[in-house]
Amino acid sequence: MKKIAIIGSGVAGLASGVRLALKGYKVHIFEQNKYPGGKLSTFKLKGYRFDAGPSLFTMPHFISELFELAGENTSDHFHFKKKDVSCKYFWQDGKTFTAFGNQEKFLDEVELKFNEPRERVIKYLKKAKKKYDLTGTLFLEKSLHKIRTFFTASTIKSILQLHVFEIQKSLHQVNSSAFSSPYLIQLFDRYATYNGSDPYQTPGIMSLIQHFENSYGTFIPTKGMVSITEALVALAKRLGVKFHFGSLVNQIVLDKKSVKGIMVSDNFFESDYVISNMDVFYTYKKLIPKSKPPLKILNQERSSSAIIFYWGVKHSFKQLDLHNIFFSKNYSKEFESIFKNKTICTDPTIYINITSKDVLNDAPKGCENWFVMINTPSNHGQDWNKLVKNLRKIVINNLSEKLGISLEDKIECEEILTPPTIESKTQSHMGALYGSSSNNKIAAFLRHPNFSNKIKNLYFCGGSVHPGGGIPLCLLSAKIVSEIIPDNTK
């Protein structure tokens, strides 16, 4: 039986392991940490449980597909529910908006709060869906770097309708031309942050992200986001995948231009194929340093990163839900600070995730576990201690004013994550959360492919390669890799 070594147990690595075990391979997953999941992990602090990384769960059918491929029922192993409220939004002038998961209720709320005709929103969402329908197979589900991908009827159909994609416009320009309400424009501009980009630069095709959330809704695993990791690890183990935790891979061993295995500390592990779920930048720099790297790809602008405050809060806020956004007053200035000036705006948008709203055991009774995230530039050597200190004051003062309470008095425990600690914990180059940004009009074509053109049997998955960052796209990267590697059951 041929062997596959997967470097990293992030969600893409886990999904790759499941798919390739089903294709007849003996799969071994090597993880430097003593726990699986990469960013999709958890920790506890003084009676509070926190999901360490991604907090948004949408398109759950990509998870269910893995269980179905294994002949199992998802509901026997992994439980989740759809949220009635996708997100709550707050503006500094007192305007609030509840984004309902039900489209009719969402449209009613748009008309009520923004005085924006529902027909405009319906037209916009239909156009976003069309963008996805025309590009989903090409850009998300197949390798852009295989010639056969382009010789299909769906590709030709997409090329003939390039005008639909609005690549020459920024997402902000697309939103501004579609709506009159500055509140709704800002709300829809926010979707650029789903892949760590700037709505004033990222192309208009990115409005298709709104289609994902609007059509599929947002969900929450009943045991928190980490249960995605736990469910996939358990599934992989049932399929015979072997896990090696606390195992730092320090070299991909080559014989001329072909993979022979990996070095784990001083031990050689022979393998027919190697899949790196590690950031592609560090894969080249640390694991195959003698191979010529694709510098044009690796040196692209990094996506945004984040400072995250994990707070145990001795209070319950009825006006908040699972996902909450407190918008900055000047959105363009905020993104200029992040991507041009490489710093943090003095009036940042604040995202608060509170899983204890739905997972009651995540916080003591009457308390809440706050995951407070502020978008930041990636790590360029800034004075992060100073930035964190200033940002903490700004965030606490801002939220105290909006919520009518002295928040500082309610915080009983705290952990802080910064771009440098993200970089060190997850081997993400410069602490970028999504690899490269999508600010370039041809960004999709500039992401690293899911395979090596120069090294035989070396493959890549995860948020730093095609098709991009975020749980759904990472799962799709695993699917692409598994379809490129030949079936071993025949």
Residues 337/338/340/343 CA torsion (nearest 10 deg): 70
Q: Are residues 210 and 256 in the same domain?
A: no
Residue 91 has pLDDT above 60, yes or no: yes
Would you state the pLDDT for residue 244? 98
Comparing 90-104, 206-220, 257-271, 349-363, the range with the smallest average pLDDT is: 206-220
Residue 149 has pLDDT above 50, yes or no: no
- Position 211 confidence tier, pLDDT thresholds 50, 70, 90: confident
List the structure tokens of 12.
């893409």
Give the residues across from 26 on adjacent strands: 3
Comparing 127-131, 252-256, 270-274, 289-293, the range with the smallest average pLDDT is: 127-131
Would you state the pLDDT for residue 490? 66
Residue 162 has pLDDT above 70, yes or no: no
Whether 66 is in a domain gets the answer no
Q: Which amino acid type is present at position 263?
A: M
Which of the listed residues 189, 216, 243 is the one where a domain comes to its end?
216
- What is the number of helices (H) and of strands (E) in the chain? 16, 20
Instruction: Show the domain range for 454.
Output: 3-42+225-300+436-484
Whether 242 is in a domain gets the answer yes
How open is the CA angle 43-47-53, to the nearest 5 degrees?
25
For residues 177 and 184, is the Cβ–Cβ distance under 8 A?
A: no
Q: Are residues 199 and 112 in the same domain?
A: yes
Residues 392/323/336/431 CA torsion (nearest 10 deg): 70
Q: Are residues 117 and 152 in the same domain?
A: yes
Range 280-285, long-range pairs (CB < 8 A, 24+ positions): 280/435, 280/448, 280/460, 280/462, 280/464, 280/465, 281/429, 281/464, 282/427, 282/429, 283/7, 283/252, 283/460
Q: Are residues 156 and 122 in the same domain?
A: yes
Whether 342 is in a domain gets the answer no
Q: Which amino acid type is present at position 396?
A: I
Whether 237 is in a domain gets the answer yes
Q: Are residues 174 and 111 in the same domain?
A: yes
Q: What pLDDT, in 10s, does the model give residues 176-202?
A: 999 999 999 999 999 999 989 999 999
Q: Are residues 110 and 207 in the same domain?
A: yes
Would you state the pLDDT for residue 296? 86
Average pLDDT of span 203-228:
90
Share of the chain above pLDDT 70, in %: 93
Q: Beta strand pairing status for 85-90 and 80-82? A: unpaired
Average pLDDT of span 404-415:
97
Q: What pLDDT, in 10s, does the model give residues 22-37?
A: 999 999 999 999 999 9
Would you state the pLDDT for residue 444? 56
147's CB contacts (< 8 A; 6+ apart) are none
Q: Are residues 246 and 199 in the same domain?
A: no
Q: What mean pLDDT value characterizes the chain? A: 92
- Give the whole-angstrom CA distance, residue 126 versus residue 209: 12
Residue 156 has pLDDT above 60, yes or no: no
- Position 137 confidence tier, pLDDT thresholds 50, 70, 90: low
Tell me the HSE value of 398 on the side-chain side, using a 13 A CA sphere: 24
Average pLDDT of span 59-88:
97
Range 290-296, long-range pairs (CB < 8 A, 24+ positions): 291/254, 291/454, 291/455, 292/454, 294/448, 296/446
Would you state the pLDDT for residue 150? 39
Q: What pLDDT, in 10s, does the model give residues 32-59?
A: 999 999 999 999 999 999 999 999 999 9
Q: Are residues 119 and 193 in the same domain?
A: yes
Q: Are residues 449 and 469 in the same domain?
A: yes
Q: Are residues 212 and 274 in the same domain?
A: no
Would you state the pLDDT for residue 1? 85
Q: Provide the domain count of the chain.
A: 2
Whether 464 is in a domain gets the answer yes
Which of the listed residues 216, 244, 278 is the one where a domain comes to its end?
216
Q: Are residues 197 and 133 in the same domain?
A: yes
Where is pLDDT greater, at 265 or 415?
415
Would you state the pLDDT for residue 489? 78
Would you state the pLDDT for residue 111? 97
Whether 442 is in a domain gets the answer yes
Whether 244 is in a domain gets the answer yes
Would you state the pLDDT for residue 147? 47
List the structure tokens of 190.
């926010």
Comparing 184-188, 295-299, 451-455, the range with the smallest average pLDDT is: 295-299
- Position 468 confidence tier, pLDDT thresholds 50, 70, 90: confident
CATH number at residue 24: 3.50.50.60
> What are the backbone angles phi and psi of residue 380, rounded to the nearest 5°?
-115, 20
Comparing 65-69, 126-130, 171-175, the range with the smallest average pLDDT is: 126-130
Measure Cα distances from 349 to 115, 293, 324, 372 in Å.
23, 36, 11, 10
Whether 207 is in a domain gets the answer yes
Q: Are residues 137 and 174 in the same domain?
A: yes
Share of the chain above pLDDT 90, in %: 80
Which of the listed residues 187, 216, 245 is the one where a domain comes to its end?
216
